[in-house]
């Protein structure tokens, strides 16, 4: 699918993997709508990139806010590309060292943002994409969701995060099958350890240990490498219904 001339929507687009994706899709000729809760960063990035780049403040799990963002993205060009990068992390065991149970509100919050938010964006964007005219091979668009290697190799304390990302993985194939009737592809990228703002919050010793576990290359992934895969997925129309691990062959240890 040709990116040039298409409209794209990127959640979590003001920083990290999302920001890199916004930059890459803009360079490829898409009109990108940045969706994020950080209004200052989102507006600053849109102003920097200029052209048709715009910003919509939204909580991805809020129906009305995402509807407004999707509507904004469809103004001026057909919406063909949606990339969900918005996500949150949390550390907590099923029971803590004092035997107290995992925080209920924290678990719900992570599921709400990472899983329900991804689903909300996917369903609303797909509805808008389905109304567009088909391209070659009757393709109308592509949705790229973001999981994590934690969906497969969840570490101690990653219960909520792993559950949320496992849900994103589980949606991939049935969503692709559902949307095949209207020519919309669905793919998921499962990044390993990437140098993002979320990772920067980890202690330096934790960062060194994580990097040492990567077979090759022995470094954190760069957001631009995630964005390059998004671009390839957009342009390769046979990629559909699959989860791609982008992780340097890492398999996360228990802790």
Q: Which residue has the tokens 């403040």?
A: 57
Domain 7-245 CATH class label: alpha beta
Cα separation, 213 vs 195, in Å, equals 15
Give the per-residue pLDDT at 209: 80
CB 164 within 8 A of CB 147: no
Cα separation, 232 vs 128, in Å, equals 22
Task: Give me the residue spans of the domains in the chain.
Answer: 7-245
Give the per-residue pLDDT at 177: 98
Give the per-residue pLDDT at 248: 95
Give the per-residue pLDDT at 199: 73
Give the per-residue pLDDT at 45: 98
Phi and psi torsions of 220, nearest 5°: -70, 150
Q: Do you find a cis peptide bond into 217, omega within 30 degrees of 0?
A: yes
Residues annotated as part of the active site:
161
One digit per residue, the tens of pLDDT, for the chain of length 255 reads 999 999 999 999 999 999 999 999 999 999 999 999 999 999 999 999 998 999 999 999 999 999 999 999 999 899 999 999 999 999 999 999 999 999 999 999 999 999 999 999 999 999 999 999 999 899 999 999 999 999 999 999 999 999 999 999 999 999 999 999 999 999 999 999 998 877 776 778 777 888 888 999 999 999 999 999 999 999 999 999 999 999 999 999 898
Cα separation, 55 vs 72, in Å, equals 9
Give the per-residue pLDDT at 32: 98
CB 157 within 8 A of CB 90: no
């Amino acid at each position: 699918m040709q990116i040039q001339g298409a409209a794209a929507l990127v959640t979590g687009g003001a920083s990290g993997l999302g920001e890199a994706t916004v930059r890459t899709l803009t360079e490829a000729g898409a009109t990108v709508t940045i969706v994020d809760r950080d209004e200052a960063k989102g507006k600053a990035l849109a102003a920097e990139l200029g052209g048709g780049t715009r910003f919509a403040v939204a909580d991805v799990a809020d129906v009305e806010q995402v509807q407004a963002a999707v509507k904004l993205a469809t103004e001026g060009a057909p919406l063909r590309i949606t990339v969900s990068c918005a996500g949150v992390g949390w550390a907590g065991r099923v029971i803590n060292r004092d035997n107290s149970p995992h925080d209920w509100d924290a678990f719900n919050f992570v599921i709400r943002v990472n899983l329900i938010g991804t689903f909300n964006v996917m369903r609303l964007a797909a509805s808008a994409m389905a109304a567009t005219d088909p391209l070659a091979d009757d393709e109308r668009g592509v949705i790229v969701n973001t999981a994590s290697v934690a969906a497969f190799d969840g570490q101690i304390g990653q219960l909520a995060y792993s559950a949320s990302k496992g849900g994103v993985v589980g949606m991939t194939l049935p969503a692709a099958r559902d949307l095949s009737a209207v020519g919309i592809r669905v793919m998921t990228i499962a990044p390993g350890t990437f140098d993002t703002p979320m990772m920067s919050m980890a202690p330096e010793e934790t960062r060194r240990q994580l990097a040492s576990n990567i077979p090759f290359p022995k470094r954190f992934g760069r957001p631009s490498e995630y964005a390059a895969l998004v671009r390839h997925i957009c342009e390769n129309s046979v990629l559909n219904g699959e989860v791609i691990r982008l992780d340097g062959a890492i398999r996360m240890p228990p802790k």
